Structure 1
Amino acid sequence: MDNVRAVPDAVSNAPGDPESGDAAGPLAEQIETAYRRIGITSAHVGIVAMVLFGVFFDAIEQNTVGIAGPMLREQWGLGGTEIGLLNTATFTAVALGRVLAGALMDRFGRRMLLGLNLLVFAFGSVLCAIAPNYEVLVGARFLVGLGLGGEIATAVIMLAEFFSAKHRGTAVGLINVAAAGLGNMLAPLFGVIVFAVFSGDDGWRWLFGTLVLPALAVVVYRRALPETPRYLAAQGRITEANTVLNRLAAGKLRGDVAHTVQYLVVPDEREHASAPTARWTELLGPAYRRSTLALAIAVTMSYAAQISMLTLIPVILTERGMSITSALWYTLVMQSGSLVGALTAAGLARRLPRRLTLTAAAMLGVVAGLGFGFFATNIALVLAFGFLFNFSVIILNTTIWLFAPEQYPTRIRGLATSVILAIGSLSGGLFPLIAGAVLDGYGVGAMFAVLAGLFAVCALAVRFPRETFGQPMPEDR
């Protein structure tokens, strides 16, 4: 608590000193100063755990179509295009869900959306498990996607808004450590376990159904999650923002705080003044057009490559004569690249500019795509290039998740980031149809050549947004 009590002395420092917490300074600087002084406490650890627990199971769920694909192909006679359509339904709904969540979280807050998203997802998972035919399964996957839609976007915004510039990159990077790293890597193992326990023809139904229980557990676990101080302050709720900041400083998300400090100070007439309502047209206005378009293109390319790989690689491996269990184990080895990529991205976020990291990762993706398509002639090379592919794409996604919220002020951050990620989800939903058709018509080499081309376009797009490395998150006041 010593760092908390020291703040009132600092407030009397010279006006304009970014370390002073001076009341006349911009709100962004006051928040950044408060976060720097508070540092990292057990409350931060609890917040991160509550967020990551949910996105971990989200990531497993997003792999279920690829895991169940060979079994659905055998039982229902589905081809690559039909399996791709299942992901199209999911990720099209994810895109819609993210846009809706973005608009709602800027109006009603970040906290509310997390529980609502998981409840809708749980209901959709139950319908997947009992689907009597392919058409019902497609509809159920759409409902699952709606529930998943806002989860990652809300998680990204929440963790970005709870940390200072020094720690923000690592905090947001941990989302993909849990999701694309551990979640994607362990999803094949989850499939192996489910299929071992439920070995009959209904194994794929149990795969969908067993994810309901952890989703409901997360909803209960997150009851102690607070609203972000940045959102509260942007809405003119300065007293509530100071309360959350004091809880962070004390390391307590529940109970009374013994010593309180007024970290944020604004003129009396602005105490309850909400920020202007976000307008959709602002995303393409003069202030944000370049960043919005460039990041939308980059995430479109990255998600298209990633979801095509996740959806179709088990099918590719089983068509080469592997059993479904062997294919899932090999997929797990390749997905370990996601975990290494997420950890690498979290580390690089504290050391390298965003655009440099993104460009290098995209070029590695080009190498990985071409290598898998044309040079992976044995299982060792398949695993090596598959590892590199996942390593590259997860660095891209993690850094984009961090880069996008840093472009916008709090009042529009949720909407803008959600729209950008929604465009990526829509791409991830639609492109497996194209990739599946190319795979069916022209083979593995052609499909991965197309994916390599996506990485090349991404490498160009990420050069255009403004660099934000080491800077406070922007505010309107």
Structure 2
Amino acid sequence: MLLERLEKLPVGSFHYKLLAVTGLGWLFDAMDTGLISFVLPILAKEWGLAPEQMGWIGSVGFIGMALGAVISGTIADRIGRKLVFSLTVILYSLATGACALSWNYESLMIFRFLVGFGLGGELPVAATLMTEYAPTKLRGRFIVLLESFWGLGWLAAACIAYLLIPQYGWQITFFIGALPAVYVFMIRVHMPESVRYLISKNRIGEAQEIVLMLEKKLHVASEPFDKELSDVEKGTSTVAEPKFSSLWSGMFARRTLMLWLAWFGINFSYYGIFMWLPSIVFQQGFTVVKTFEYVLIMTLAQLPGYYCAAWLVDVIGRKYTLSLFLLISGVASYFFGNAATPGELLAWGAAMSFFNLGAWGVLYTYTPELYPTAIRALGSGWAAGFGRIGSMIAPAMVGMMIGSRMSSSGIFMLFAGVFLAVALIVVGLGVESRQKSLEEIADEAAVHGEAASC
């Protein structure tokens, strides 16, 4: 009855407020990631950094993100989504502010690691929480819209870089990036714990109170709960503690393999391209101000990419939307690397942003859906964490490629190949989860021998 009543709630103010609260966390995360990419060309000149050092400033943050995603995802299945979400936001906010106080290359590396740890921990936990509250028929749309806040964050970073860095220097960007610490208070007031998580921990009374509160808030007629749980809820509330081995048990291994490779490929390509995008455009001969203008235009293309993906995931499904967007990202990457004029650079850069970020939105939708409640945050965290290996490698690798004077066409040929490979992996190994409840997806796994003994 609990889950049935949760699923039957009409979409209303609660869902949109939850989307806004978790989305703001996403926005601040993206803003921080974007700011460092705009700051890198300035630091390179001011501190005399080599391309390899610039690459490692990006990569050390992703080492922190990998550890943060794995650790936060693991403990979120043990102590709750809401608490872990709050703690990770505080960590990356304070660490971002500390970046403004960096006095040399080494100190900035330490602070960027801490920023990455908090940022990497927040993203999969927020996606898990939103997934467990979004109604089945609109779940894909809600999660892609959540991810669209990432585009708004990059847009905010581009505006801050364009308007403030030339006037006030690079430190101001990190002070602004510390503001999310204040936002944590909103989280505590407006975001309840996941009902599905509470049921999984046999905290039935708390789950019932939240559903009753939501029914009242959304003007739904309420009645007392039966003391007896449904069969689905009984199964959910008697699972064992989450274990890493569960992700590789039975046919969950196929889902985990697909997700890990997809996360690795999209992280490798996205961060290899976008962490270096201002620097690459700058090296084409544009001034710092003109570089920021071009990157701002490319960044704007992310938003319609998200909204297009948000519509398609509930029309043609997660699997085919993701593979299509990855494939076209690869095509756009190839032509961006071979652009001969400023117009071509802008056009293919905008296309690359449109499809690349749309693919990110679908992947964040897809990942938590493929695991049951007991290991949902664990599975999402490990997939994101493994993917961060790609984001660690790519910025440093691009730095070495630029240092060895490899052409941009050669660099972007590599990224095009990775996008193509990941698209084929998703088509070959992916399963479709469109218009199915989270419990139905888990039941299908059991029927087809995919269930893990978790």
TM-score (norm 1): 0.87
CA shift for structure 1 position 231? 0.8
Measured after TM superposition, the shift of residue 197 of structure 1 is 4.5
Distance 1:234 1:321, change over 3 A: same
Alpha-carbon separation, structure 2, partners of 1:414 and 1:469: 20
| Residue 86 (structure 1) aligned with residue 87 (structure 2) | no
1:276 to 226, 231, 240: 240
In structure 2, what is the equivalent of residue 285 of structure 1? 249
CA pair 272-194 structure 1, distance change in 2 beyond 3 A:
same
- Paired with 2:81 and 2:129, the residues of 1 have a C-alpha distance of 7
The answer to whether 1:192 aligns with 2:162 is yes
**Secondary structure at 1:118 match in 2:** helix
Aligned to 2:452: none
Check the 8 A contact 1:242/1:261 in 2, yes or no.
Answer: no
Q: What amino acid is aligned across from residue 294 of structure 1 in structure 2?
A: M
- Tell whether the 8 Å contact from 2:317 to 2:432 is kept in structure 1 after alignment: yes
Counterpart among 192, 196, 214 of residue 248 in structure 1: 214
Contact kept, 8 Å, 1:68 with 1:204, in 2: the verdict is yes
Aligned positions, number = 438
Tell me which amino acid in the other structure corresponds to 1:310. Answer: F
Q: Does the 8 A contact of 2:197 with 2:374 survive in 1?
A: yes
- Counterpart amino acid of residue 367 in structure 2: A
Query: Which of the two has higher C-alpha Rg?
Result: 1
Of 330, 355, 379, the residue aligned with 1:366 is 330
Structure 1 contact 439–446 (Cα < 8 Å) conserved = no
What is the aligned-residue RMSD (CA, Å)?
A: 2.2
Deviation at 1:392, TM superposition (A): 1.6
Paired AA for residue 410 in structure 1: T
Q: Cα deviation per residue 1:62-84 (whole Å; 9 max; x = unaligned)?
A: 11221001111111112332111
1:149 maps to amino acid: G
1:390 corresponds in structure 2 to 353
Say if 2:377 is the partner of 1:411.
no
What residue number does 1:436 align with? 399
Distance 2:407 2:214 in 1: 54
8 Å CA contact 1:81, 1:437 repeated in 2:
yes
Aligned counterpart, 1:467: 432
Q: Following superposition of structure 1 onto structure 2, how do residues 263-342 of structure 1 map, counting pairs within 5 Å? A: 265-266=228-229, 273-342=237-306
Q: Which moved more, 1:316-325 or 1:363-372?
A: 316-325
For the residue of structure 1 that corresponds to 2:164, the secondary structure is: helix
The answer on whether the counterparts of 1:298 and 1:457 sit within 8 Å (CA) in structure 2 is no
For 2:236 and 2:246, how far apart are their aligned partners in 1?
A: 24
AA matched with 2:108: L
Unaligned runs of 5+ in 1: 1-20, 22-29
How far apart in 2 are the matches of 1:271 and 1:422? 28
Q: Distance in 1 between matches of 2:5 and 2:237?
A: 21
| Residue among 120, 126, 147 paired with 1:176 | 147
SS at match of 1:317: helix
SS of the residue 1:78 aligns to: coil
Note the 1:24-423 alignment, pairs <5 A: 31=3, 33-179=4-150, 181-198=151-168, 203-213=169-179, 215-224=180-189, 225-251=191-217, 259-262=222-225, 265-266=228-229, 273-374=237-338, 376-423=339-386
**SS, match of residue 131 in structure 1:** coil
After TM superposition, the score normalised by the length of structure 2 is: 0.91
Distance 1:264 1:461 in 2: 46
1:36–1:123 Cα change, 3 Å: closer
Counterpart of 1:462 in 2: which secondary structure?
helix
Deviation for aligned residue 1:35: 3.6
Gaps spanning 5+ residues in structure 2: where? 447-454
Identity across aligned pairs (percent)?
27
